[in-house]
Amino acid sequence: MPSTNQGWPEDFGFQLGGNGPSYILSVEEGSSAHLAGLQAGDQVLEIEGHNVSTLGPQAVITIAQTQKNIPPSIGVVSRIQQMDIIPGPDGRFGFTIVGDCPLLVEDCSPCSPAGRAGLRAGDYVMEVNGIPVRQHETAAALIKASQGRTLRLGVLCLGPRQKHSISIEDSQMGGEGARLDRKHKALEFNRKVDQILGDEPEVKEKLFAVLKQYAAEKRVEWLASVLPEILTTDEHRQLISSISMHPRKPPKKCITCPPQAVIQARWIRGGLAHR
């Protein structure tokens, strides 16, 4: 363990990136950061109780290096987003990655399968099919093995996103438009359920009972754990991508992150305490 914070964060085994907020881009296996539970894709929210949620890496580093505790306590939350990418007719996904630890999306056309799923150049790939990846060779092998099938990426989205403008008329119609959109999605989902589960009324009944309970409680992690127990075949699981998982809005000062649990960690000598 270093005797000062002057080499934070690298001396403690992790790397920061972003332009504000700051994100953890990589965590060295076996390091203090790794043992404390920090993960690539986490956003840095607090340093020793100081709110740094909007600051860039250099400002966060400056604050951390001046703290008395070694290392300083850090509050984080995962910002990894899951993207399901359906391959094109040629079996490919339409993006390239470069580098190691982290893996950077170098190129991704908005018209490609990956682009339509939301991936952008400048994003970081943290997981491939649920497996954390640090090395380009490993990620490339997992992606290649998925050609012709749906690919799931865990992504830290730092690439530029298109900004949409809205007119006054559009704003006034927004509520009605959103209501109609929800109605359309519900009808489409019901049609898909009938198509896939039409001959399995018991499965269909269980699914709607679970969704009704989720609508009342908004427990994302519970839903994510229960669905695979009900939707047991590959055909069944086509329905999962049509189910929106949004958590209940938290009260002020409460931090949440679907579907991965929040990590608020304080490093102490000899171990890790959660607060």
Give the per-residue SS3 of the chain. CCCCCCCCCHHHCEEEECCCCCEEEEECCCCHHHHHCCCCCEEEEEECCEECCCCCHHHHHHHHHCCCCCCCCEEEEECCEEEEECCCCCCCCCEEEECCCCEEEEEECCCCHHHHHCCCCCCEEEEECCEECCCHHHHHHHHHHCCCCCEEEEEECCCCCCCCCCCHHHHHHHHHHHHHHHHHHHHHHHHHHHHHHCCCHHHHHHHHHHHHHHHHHCCHHHHHHHHHHHCCCCCHHHHHHHCCCCCCCCCCCCCCCCCCCCEEEEEECCEEEEC
- pTM value is 0.59
Model confidence at 270, pLDDT cuts 50, 70, 90, reads: very low
Strand partners, 124: 104, 156
The CATH architecture to which 81-156 belongs is Roll (2.30)
Query: Do 257 and 245 form a contact (C-beta atoms < 8 A)?
Result: no
Question: Rounded to whole angstroms, how far apart are CA atoms 4 and 124?
Answer: 30
Model confidence at 62, pLDDT cuts 50, 70, 90, reads: very high
The distance from CA 42 to its chain's CA centroid, rounded to whole angstroms, is 9
Quick one: pLDDT at residue 237?
A: 75
Mean pLDDT value across residues 135-151:
91
Model confidence at 113, pLDDT cuts 50, 70, 90, reads: very high
Question: Rounded to whole angstroms, how far apart are CA atoms 193 and 250?
Answer: 31
pLDDT higher than threshold 90 for residue 167: no
pLDDT higher than threshold 50 for residue 265: no
Question: Rounded to whole angstroms, how far apart are CA atoms 65 and 43?
Answer: 18
Question: Rounded to whole angstroms, how far apart are CA atoms 115 and 161?
Answer: 11
pLDDT higher than threshold 50 for residue 274: no
pLDDT higher than threshold 50 for residue 234: yes
Model confidence at 142, pLDDT cuts 50, 70, 90, reads: very high
Question: Rounded to whole angstroms, how far apart are CA atoms 114 and 92?
Answer: 9
- Those residues whose C-beta lies under 8 Å from the C-beta of residue 193, and which sit 6 or more positions away, are 204, 207, 239
Quick one: pLDDT at residue 219?
A: 76
pLDDT higher than threshold 60 for residue 3: yes
Give me the chain's average pLDDT, please.
80
Quick one: pLDDT at residue 260?
A: 35
CATH of domain 10-79+254-274: 2.30.42.10
Mean pLDDT value across residues 237-255:
54
Quick one: pLDDT at residue 264?
A: 40
